[in-house]
Chains A and B, each alone.
Chain A
């Protein structure tokens, strides 16, 4: 048991989790409406979309890259699928097409970064505009709504009576990503590339493959998120990814994944997404003007990332403290 505790402490998500608990306590004290079950479900529902949108992005950040095109990808996939559904294409086929579109965009990003060797920031920023532009072109300014119920079920339906489908999907995504990132050799390759790309290359790790996998996952999960958004709103429009903006990156980083690569995980991203949504939620409950909210979110992000970096520094100092006395002792004995 103590071993398990030790392991949890080592994990960076542990500190994000502590932050989350503190946040929940503060929120419960400030608003009586907060602690209601329905409110929690609302928060989780909102966090689910953000989480799925950031799930693959987590892999890209672990790799040491960045993907700025997730929001646009979600919008394009959502819009295309809405159009297809209106044209009478069956739901299962639409979902498959949506995921494949994501994979294609991810392949493009992977190609630009690993073969053409553009910096990920520039490459995905460009893809972001291309994909967004495509969405605008195909939508031609209109908003599509009234989608078939078989489709909106994934955004608004319930399983087992009480459980929103959206949350179930998010949990499945988390499980898949957890196994993929933490328990497979390809996941480990992504970590290795993020820790030290040159060392990974010199170790015979297939770096390009790892880069492709990360970018494809990022765009595929973004595509899935696009489907979820559309289903949840029962509507699609070209700018629907915009509201997520860089919230995706914020969710990943608040969850303890390093922007420098090599560290992090999906559990942290899950906590980060919930935290971000929780803050919006409590601000609404407290009646803070929506004009003031972005400012507060900005401040909160700074505070959370700051605490995360402090907690990491602390652990380092503790380790150093142990290392030195032991060896000095040994040396002194040798000298006699």
Chain B
């Protein structure tokens, strides 16, 4: 097969999930020897498309044609047989198996006596690793002893062992350093040159021109456009992804309140993830916490809310110190709420109904004598369903059937129904669609108008800058900068530099020297 020929063609693919159309009549094609980038916000449909191609999802409608013949994959095994494989962002290696055993997982070679033929697996593993210039890796060492970049190379070697025609990379650079990204790209280019079709999913716009040949932009389950890598500017791509101007998205009214609500002094934890954090949140204020993944923002929030034990430091609420051990129960009774990062594992009881989840925190406020009345629970849940426009036919439906955006609204309703005055939001808009995002921004603005305080943790800088009155920048567990809305450095570029702790300007330098 020659470079430039279509290897895979997808027509009219539609995939439905409860309450959401994940893919809406999407067409897509992949050519031999190209890197085709899929781009879009979370929930736009790019991962769903790749999972349909991989056979992990069975689409409701549409056809997948591979090398001119129609295929219908019922499972990843079917797709694998046709040479379609993937390298995921989160690794699937088993920590206590050797590199060779990981590569040949589930299709181990056996000797005649039925025992594993480790020599043969190690020999072939070495050959595979050589293909991607990783012959230095020891095939008998445990996967857990490798660096993340090395683990990824093993994943690629594993993918190659299937003799693939198509490899899907799902955000492969999310956890790599810049140097490691360079060598990964080199390997991808080599694979491309060998005639493999590559689908590359990424959020990092700066990578696109380095690695891609064509781009397809996705939004809300639909494919917006496909074009050559140099045909459109970065700005045009972003506009296609978002589908509207950024300025319309974030609405902030000026703060009419004064006085402090939350003050944190010298907070430290036992894991050395948070080091002497000081911060203040005022009434009616939205304060952002910026920082890289792993900078210690979530850990700081966990300390404030009492999820983790503090080693040192004080927390004040409305000027009054919180004495004794801080526990979530204590903070809830003092009207603090915490919308945590991982809504599925920590935010919701997925198999419980919407109504139970909404009233999970406020139950004791609603029924101080301890006896529950279902009707009241239903009424409270209904009122929040209306207020937050939670799309669910009945509040008795279990939360697992809701879309990400609606689940997040249930989490917010849970705290609102408990009448919290201070709300800590950790990545409140992660993985939800644009419509729900805007509703959450609107809600945040509304809450601040009511005099409530919000501490916002987000990895999306535009969101932080759009919503916050002030931003604290966290770097390696320390708060290294504070910027106010309206000041010169209140922009993505400068705050981005602060997050890496490489920011210096006239003033910053002066502060630094002190």
A33 within 8 A of B: no
Assess whether B164 is interfacial by the CB under 8 Å rule: no
Q: With a CB–CB cut-off of 8 A, which chain B residues contact A262? A: 349, 351-352
B18 within 8 A of A: yes
Pick the contact of A328 from B16, B328, B346, B393 — CB < 8 Å?
B16
With A183-B372, A204-B333 already in contact, the answer to whether A199 and B393 are too (CB < 8 A) is no
Residue on A with the closest CB to B349? Answer: A195
Say yes or no for A248: interface residue by CB 8 A criterion. Answer: no
Q: Which of A49-57, A151-159, A299-307, A317-325 contacts B (4 or more CB under 8 A)?
A: A317-325
Find chain B residues with CB under 8 A from A205 CB: 328-329, 360-361
Chain A positions within 8 Å of B393 at CB level: 322-323, 326
Taking the nearest CB of chain B, how far is it from the CB of A210, in angstroms? 11
Of B38-46, B267-275, B363-371, the one touching chain A = B363-371
| Beta-carbon nearest neighbor of B334 in chain A | A204
A206 to B307, CA, bound (A): 12
CA distance A186 to B327 in the complex (A): 18
- A200 close to B (CB within 8 Å): yes
Please give, as numbers and ranges, the residues of chain B lying within 8 Å of A182 by CB-CB distance.
372
- Which residues of A lie under 8 Å from residue B345 when comparing CB positions? 196, 198-199
Nearest Cβ on chain A to B245's Cβ, whole angstroms: 20
Tell me the nearest residue of chain B to A261, going by C-beta: B351
B19 at the interface (CB under 8 A from A): yes
B348 interface contact, C-beta 8 A: yes
Which residues of chain B come closer than 8 Å to A189, judged between CB atoms?
363
Instruction: Take A198-B346, A320-B18 as given contacts and tell me if A184 and B370 are in contact as well, using a CB distance cutoff of 8 Å.
Output: yes
* Bound CA–CA A220/B396 (angstroms): 33
Contact of B332 among A183, A184, A204 (CB under 8 A): A204
B461 to chain A: closest CB distance in Å? Answer: 26
Residues of B close to A206: CB separation below 8 A: 329
CB <8 Å contact, B396 and A10: yes
The reply to whether A263 and B351 contact each other, CB–CB distance below 8 Å, is: yes
- Chain A 82-95, CB within 8 Å of chain B: the 1/0 string? 00000000000000
Q: How far is the CB of A117 from chain B (nearest CB, A)?
A: 15
- A262-B350 Cα distance, complex, nearest whole Å: 10
The complex places the Cα of A203 from the Cα of B410 at a distance, in Å, of 13
Inter-chain contact B346/A199, CB cutoff 8 Å: yes
Contact between chains at A185 and B352 (CB < 8 Å): no
Residues of chain A contacted by B367 (CB below 8 angstroms): 185
Q: Complex: how many Å from CA A324 to CA B447?
A: 33
A291 at the interface (CB under 8 A from B): no
Query: Chain B's nearest CB lies how many Å from the CB of A61?
Result: 15
Given contacts A185-B370, A262-B349, A323-B393, contact A204 B329 (CB under 8 A): yes
In the bound complex, CA of A263 to CA of B345 (Å) = 18
Q: Is B331 an interface residue when CB atoms closer than 8 A count as contact?
A: yes
B478 within 8 A of A: no
| CB–CB A327/B21 < 8 A | yes
User: Which residues in chain A, 201-221, are within 8 Å of chain B measured between CB atoms?
Assistant: 201-206
Q: Is the CB of B352 within 8 A of A191?
A: yes
Contact with A along B295-322 (1 / 0, CB 8 A): 0000000000101000000000000000
Report if A331 contacts B (CB, 8 A): yes
Instruction: Tell me if A234 is interfacial: C-beta within 8 Å of chain B.
Output: no
Decide if B21 touches A331 in the complex (CB within 8 Å). Answer: yes
Residues of B338-391 whose CB lies within 8 A of A? 338, 340, 345-352, 356, 360-361, 363-364, 367, 370-372, 391
Which residues of B are found within 8 Å of A198, using beta-carbon distances?
345-346
Shortest C-beta distance, A278 to chain B (Å), equals: 30
- CB neighbours (8 Å) of B327 from chain A are 204
Query: Measured between alpha carbons, how far is A331 from B25 in the docked complex, in Å?
Result: 13
CA distance A269 to B150 in the complex (A): 53
Least Cβ distance of B239 to chain A in Å?
20
Contacts A204-B361, A205-B329, A331-B21 given; does A319 touch B348 at CB 8 Å: no
**CB-contact partner of A203 in B21, B330, B350, B414, under 8 A:** B414
Closest A residue to B343 using CB positions: A199
Q: How far is the CA of A262 from the CA of B357 in the complex (A)?
A: 13
User: Least Cβ distance of A235 to chain B in Å?
Assistant: 40
Contact A202-B370, Cβ < 8 Å, known A192-B352, A324-B16: no
Q: By the criterion CB–CB under 8 Å, are B307 and A202 in contact? A: yes
Q: Is the CB of A199 within 8 A of B21?
A: no
Q: How far is the CA of A192 from the CA of B357 in the complex (A)?
A: 9
Do residues A192 and B360 form an inter-chain contact, with CB atoms below 8 A?
yes
In the assembled complex, which residues on chain A have CB atoms less than 8 Å from the CB atom of B340? 202
Mask: chain B, 396-431; 1 = CB below 8 Å from A; 0 = not:
110001000000000000100000000000000000
In the complex, which residues 132-157 of chain B have their Cβ closer than 8 Å to any Cβ of chain A? none
Q: Which residue of B lies closest to A204 (CB)?
A: B332
Residue of A nearest to B402 (CB): A323
Q: Which of B307, B361, B363, B367 has the most CB of A within 10 A?
A: B363
Residue of A192, A206, A323 contacting most chain B CB atoms (<10 Å): A323
A203 vs B391: C-alpha distance in the bound complex, in angstroms?
A: 23
Given A196-B350, A323-B393, A327-B20, decide whether A203 and B370 contact each other with a Cβ distance below 8 A: no
A202 touches B372 (CB 8 A): no
Q: Establish whether residues A185 and B364, one from each chain, have CB atoms under 8 Å apart when the complex forms.
A: yes
| B residues 96-135 in Cβ contact with A at 8 Å | none
B372 touches A188 (CB 8 A): yes
Interface residues of A (CB under 8 A from B): 10, 182-189, 191-192, 195-196, 198-206, 262-263, 319-320, 322-324, 326-328, 331
A-B contact pairs, 26 of them (CB 8 A): A184-B370, A184-B372, A185-B363, A188-B363, A191-B352, A191-B356, A198-B345, A198-B346, A200-B349, A202-B307, A202-B340, A202-B346, A203-B332, A203-B360, A204-B328, A204-B329, A205-B329, A205-B360, A205-B361, A206-B329, A319-B397, A320-B401, A323-B393, A327-B19, A327-B21, A328-B21
Closest 6 CB pairs of A and B: A204-B332, A195-B349, A196-B349, A204-B328, A323-B18, A198-B346
Given A183-B371, A202-B307, A202-B346, 14 further pairs, Cβ under 8 A: A184-B371, A189-B363, A198-B346, A199-B360, A201-B328, A202-B340, A203-B332, A203-B360, A204-B332, A320-B401, A324-B19, A326-B393, A328-B16, A328-B21
